[in-house]
Structure 1
């Protein structure tokens, strides 16, 4: 009960990322809101179709927002979904995934898998190319995207064309107190991060599960190519670097981009110039793999 009560209080805090978007709001041809059934729960999703008319079936980028697994909603990424749709010429599927502690690990991963299977079944109706799926997310959302690639490999399913991991949180084994936290308050009170971790992983033994901590996964060259967006001053930078090197060593194509003088979630909090650069890079890479 304690974790549920504190999580609900944390959700009442204002989301700084919504106040000043790093990308101006763009028109799209259509934004389509839906609720679909998954094995985890009924799930809110939004589709964004690019403004430029295109008669062929679109590639699709599935987006998982950040929020430490317990907070925020998909609408925080609305400006970026619009931007990516127009710039990459693809459909964006924005997911309001199930939050902990109500839905702890591995529920969001199972939910994501169900969404992918549903998307494939409904591809023709949605004017989507089921062979051109891309996954990505920010922070906790990047963890889910990376875990989904591992989960798809476990099941022998096709990999996405690309996994986009922005400021990814990939290591639950290492205590936050032992991570290079630049924020003095979070560094002084790592118990807050540990509480959030406990919401998502109520059983300590789950921390080493590769779907929770991808840096502990056994990887191979069948995994999707990766685009890593990493901030210089981010407590999660070492685990991102570790996972990037692990993927590279296994033969996976990895593009690792370190953004100097930036902090965690800079894609949503700034500096604006660096955020715009990162979103433009993501759009270009989505377009490249979708057209290849």
Structure 2
């Protein structure tokens, strides 16, 4: 497995060590597995790291099902402190990553706990339908329906309907960007912020980072292709802005954004490109590239200090947006 940097950037030693361990373990390649087999591996990892969440006690963590277009949608609602009707909490609606095929409420529980506690906000994590059982646009339909439900029921949750943000990592960042565009087109709900963590903004872009970092840095081009093939129905979906939000013609009027990318991520160029497009459209954007990190660094615990720094930056940006 190649781990030497292909640019002037220097990969963090923690990732070099981790990937050498993976290479020595002879673990199966994700793209060689069925979705069911890949999900088993994801659950095993989530169980291994879940013990770390015990240091982040919250006032309440509740699993619930809410109405969606194709049935109910499971959500997990994190509340940082006792609810006071006179001082409702802001709300972050969170969408997990996993290439629209993998992950669930449990895999991203640590991230949601961190953001709930550090940003002092309610977090509603959405367990949207996964591909290939439910192909595009099922995930889009679920996350938008969930965001609408949160806006309509914010006061019941102890939240403030005027202070709702969306956010997610990787495919969840993609879905977050899509939701802001749909909310704008629909005229509701009113969203005040978007948190995009190493998002994949285009299904099939022609950016150099896809080739430069598409092998040897955990997320590979073959994995990306595996996810896309499971998610999409046909080649036509590639050009749908609900799959590739960077293709939307008009990005004006969208909520302010924090976009975080990783220097050794195949998606780094498109994250930066979307930040530029948003700025050119008059949207307030904070953009940060963690140059020595790889894709998924906020999701993967215990390797580097970059994860904690990015979570603090995300929570700080949320707090700032919620108090404006």
| TM-score, normalisation: structure 1 | 0.90
* 1:156–1:95 Cα change, 3 Å: same
Preserved CA contact (<8 Å) 1:45 1:96: yes
Would you say 1:13 and 2:41 are equivalent positions?
A: yes
Work out the number of aligned pairs and report it: 288
For 1:59-138, what aligned pairs fall within 5 Å after superposition? 59-138=90-169
Preserved CA contact (<8 Å) 2:128 2:142: yes
Q: 1:50: Cα distance to partner? A: 0.8
- Aligned counterpart, 2:81: 51
Preserved CA contact (<8 Å) 2:173 2:197: yes
Q: 1:232: Cα distance to partner? A: 0.5
- Aligned counterpart, 1:26: 56
For 1:247-266, what aligned pairs fall within 5 Å after superposition? 247-266=278-297
Cα RMSD (Å) of the superposition? 2.4
For 1:1-292, what aligned pairs fall within 5 Å after superposition? 6-14=34-42, 16=45, 19-20=48-49, 25-51=55-81, 54=84, 55-174=86-205, 178-184=210-216, 190-269=221-300, 271-292=303-324
Partner SS state of residue 74, structure 1: coil
- The runs of 5 or more residues in structure 2 that have no matched partner are 1-30
Partner SS state of residue 78, structure 2: strand
Preserved CA contact (<8 Å) 2:90 2:159: yes
Distance, in Å, in 2 between the alignment partners of 1:199 and 1:143 is 16
Superposed CA offset, 1:126-174 (max 9, x none) = 1111111100000011111111111112212244111100010111123
Superposed CA offset, 1:40-84 (max 9, x none) = 332111111113765511110011111111011111222222222
Deviates more, 1:74-83 or 1:96-105: 74-83
Preserved CA contact (<8 Å) 2:164 2:192: yes
- The runs of 5 or more residues in structure 1 that have no matched partner are none
Partner SS state of residue 37, structure 1: strand
Distance, in Å, in 2 between the alignment partners of 1:178 and 1:228 is 18
Distance, in Å, in 1 between the alignment partners of 2:224 and 2:73 is 26
* 1:178–1:207 Cα change, 3 Å: same
Q: 1:88: Cα distance to partner? A: 1.2
- Aligned counterpart, 2:10: none
* 1:193–1:57 Cα change, 3 Å: same
* 1:96–1:25 Cα change, 3 Å: farther
Q: 1:290: Cα distance to partner? A: 0.8
Q: 1:196: Cα distance to partner? A: 1.4
